[in-house]
């Protein structure tokens, strides 16, 4: 049975290239190369050289013109690189042409991100999503695997060479694998929806943390809830959403979810593949958009996150912008950036806890405006209703009297109707 194989992990020395059409794009290209550099090093591959190349027009064969190609090949030989990585997307034909000329492995940013995702995936759903993205990426590149077979047609129009028949067979098998993987993802997605339905039976407000990769989402989840999610200073440290209960100072309970991070130039098929994972943002009562304020590119990163949310249909959801990593800023830089930022935002350090109390106050204010507190006198024999109000609603006051439990809180869902007969005048 045909299998899509990962590239050999014998590569150790990478040379990075970004192609631009105008000098105005050079600064952004350098920033994107910084990201590609970090992604590559996260895979254990050393970056021995990098270059931003301006081109007048795209060459169908190599992207670059012949003179630039020769110059790059010379640099590759000097650096003794064994893999050439383009920050630009390259076609299967261009990939083959470069490998023929350079005699080394040639890939693009898309394939590097796929490898990082594959290495980080832990749960069955994340692994299936990565597998689907890899299969879809590999389909148009199958011809690379069969260069040893003949592709020449015979004398008649209907006659085909051995290689072409083998490629068609493999394409059919690969499409079957794609269909089977999609069915598995659909099944796992149903299981996730079942889990979400169980959480919604306890009608707690939900908050989703979204943001650029490495913005500190898992660190914030751990700080607020005491969870033990993986939190590391690297891109895509975790791909799987984690949900934990958060108890606000007033006693109000929320469900807080950490989602997968975003990145610039994220391949569309990965956005599509991870929609099931990102659905937590769609159903959340509030989205916390976490921003790494210490990054010089924080504005571009914010735009990337906002664009992905828009693609998912979550752009209109209630949103609170939270600027993280203020502990890494000097006072001058912090003040300068703060002038450009809305007063409705929150400045925190998820690592040190600075500003977290203010964030909790913001959450209190947001959700207190969505629920109405009521006063109830519950019979002493029905303490189970008091317990349900604590777990399924918001209990702010509780007093035991001769006539029963005098409580003040905000019930949610069917609990509001159940407690209706015990409601007292405020």
Q: State the DSSP H helix or E strand holding residue 256, giving kind and residue range, or none if neither.
A: strand 253-258
Count of residues making up the chain: 426
Cβ atoms 235, 115 nearer than 8 A: no
Residue 209 has pLDDT above 50, yes or no: yes
The pLDDT assigned to 58 comes to 86
Kindly report, residue by residue over 330-344, the tens digit of the pLDDT: 776 666 666 667 667
Bridge partners (DSSP) listed for residue 245:
255
Kindly report, residue by residue over 90-135, the tens digit of the pLDDT: 988 899 999 999 999 999 998 888 888 777 777 777 788 888 888 8
Residue with tokens 């209109």: 316
The pLDDT assigned to 255 comes to 86
Cβ atoms 278, 259 nearer than 8 A: yes
Sheet architecture: strand order including 105-108: 46-54, 13-20, 83-86, 105-108
Residue 263 has pLDDT above 50, yes or no: yes
182: CB partners within 8 A, 6+ apart: 132
- Mean pLDDT on 316-341: 78
Q: Maximum distance among all alpha carbons in the chain?
A: 101
The pLDDT assigned to 19 comes to 94
Bridge partners (DSSP) listed for residue 290:
211, 322
The pLDDT assigned to 148 comes to 39
The pLDDT assigned to 274 comes to 62
The pLDDT assigned to 343 comes to 63
Tokens of 65: 């013109």
- Mean pLDDT on 266-295: 75
The pLDDT assigned to 48 comes to 95
pTM of the model: 0.69
Provide, rounded to the nearest whole percent, the portion of the chain with pLDDT above 90: 25
Residue 264 has pLDDT above 60, yes or no: yes
Q: Higher-confidence residue: 373 or 162? A: 373
Kindly report, residue by residue over 128-180, the tens digit of the pLDDT: 888 888 888 887 776 544 443 333 334 333 334 444 566 677 778 888 888 99
Q: State the DSSP H helix or E strand holding residue 130, giving kind and residue range, or none if neither.
A: helix 124-138
Tokens of 343: 């007063």
Helix (H, G, I), strand (E, B) or coil at 206: strand
Among the listed ranges 53-62, 142-151, 239-248, 360-369, which one has the minimum average pLDDT value? Answer: 142-151
Instruction: Give exposure, 150-175, as e/b (b: 16+ Cβ within 10 Å).
Output: eeeeeeeeeebeebbebbeebeeebe
Q: Higher-confidence residue: 159 or 327? A: 327
The pLDDT assigned to 271 comes to 67
Cβ atoms 204, 246 nearer than 8 A: no
CA dist., res. 224 & res. 250, Å (int)? 14
Range among 145-149, 219-223, 226-230 rated most confident: 219-223
Residue 370 has pLDDT above 50, yes or no: yes
Banded pLDDT at 312 (limits 50, 70, 90): confident
Residue 225 has pLDDT above 80, yes or no: yes
| Mean pLDDT score of the chain | 79
The pLDDT assigned to 36 comes to 92
The pLDDT assigned to 1 comes to 44
Q: Higher-confidence residue: 45 or 316? A: 45
Helix (H, G, I), strand (E, B) or coil at 179: helix
């Amino acid at each position: 049975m045909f299998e899509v194989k990962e590239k050999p992990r014998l590569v150790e020395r990478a040379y990075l290239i970004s192609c631009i059409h105008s000098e105005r794009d050079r600064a952004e290209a350098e920033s994107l190369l910084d990201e590609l550099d970090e992604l590559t090093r996260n895979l254990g591959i050393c970056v021995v050289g990098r270059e931003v190349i301006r081109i007048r027009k795209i060459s169908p064969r190599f992207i670059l013109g012949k003179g630039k190609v020769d110059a790059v090949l010379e640099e590759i030989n000097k650096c003794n690189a064994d893999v050439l990585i383009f920050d630009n997307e390259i076609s299967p034909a261009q990939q083959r042409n470069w490998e023929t000329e350079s005699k080394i492995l040639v890939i693009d940013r898309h394939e590097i991100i796929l490898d990082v995702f594959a290495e980080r995936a832990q749960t069955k759903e994340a692994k299936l999503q990565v597998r689907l993205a890899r299969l879809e990426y590999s389909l148009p590149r199958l011809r690379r695997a069969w260069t040893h077979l003949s592709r020449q047609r015979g004398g008649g129009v209907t006659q085909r060479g051995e290689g072409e028949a083998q490629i068609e067979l493999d394409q059919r098998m690969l499409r079957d694998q794609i269909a089977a993987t999609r069915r598995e993802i659909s099944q796992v997605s149903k299981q996730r929806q079942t889990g979400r339905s169980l959480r919604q039976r306890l009608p707690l407000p939900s908050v989703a943390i979204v943001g650029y990769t490495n913005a500190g989402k898992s660190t914030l989840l751990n700080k607020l809830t005491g969870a033990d999610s993986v939190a590391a200073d690297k891109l895509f440290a975790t791909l799987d959403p984690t949900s934990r209960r958060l108890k606000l100072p007033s006693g109000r309970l929320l469900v807080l979810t950490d989602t997968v991070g975003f990145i610039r130039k994220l391949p569309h098929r990965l956005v599509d593949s991870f929609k099931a994972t990102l659905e937590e943002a769609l159903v959340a009562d509030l989205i916390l958009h976490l921003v790494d304020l210490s990054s010089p590119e924080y504005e571009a990163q914010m735009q990337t996150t906002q664009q992905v949310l828009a693609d998912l249909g979550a752009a209109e959801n209630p949103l609170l912008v939270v600027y993280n990593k203020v502990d890494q800023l000097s006072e001058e830089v912090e003040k300068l950036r703060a002038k450009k930022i809305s007063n409705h935002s929150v400045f925190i350090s998820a690592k040190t806890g600075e500003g977290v109390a203010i964030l909790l106050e913001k959450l209190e204010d947001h959700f207190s405006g969505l629920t109405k507190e009521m006063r109830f006198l519950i019979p002493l024999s029905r303490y189970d209703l008091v317990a349900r109000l604590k777990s399924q609603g918001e209990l702010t006051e509780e007093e035991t009297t001769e006539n029963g439990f005098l409580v003040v809180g905000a019930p949610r869902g069917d609990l509001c109707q159940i407690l209706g007969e015990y409601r007292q005048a405020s």
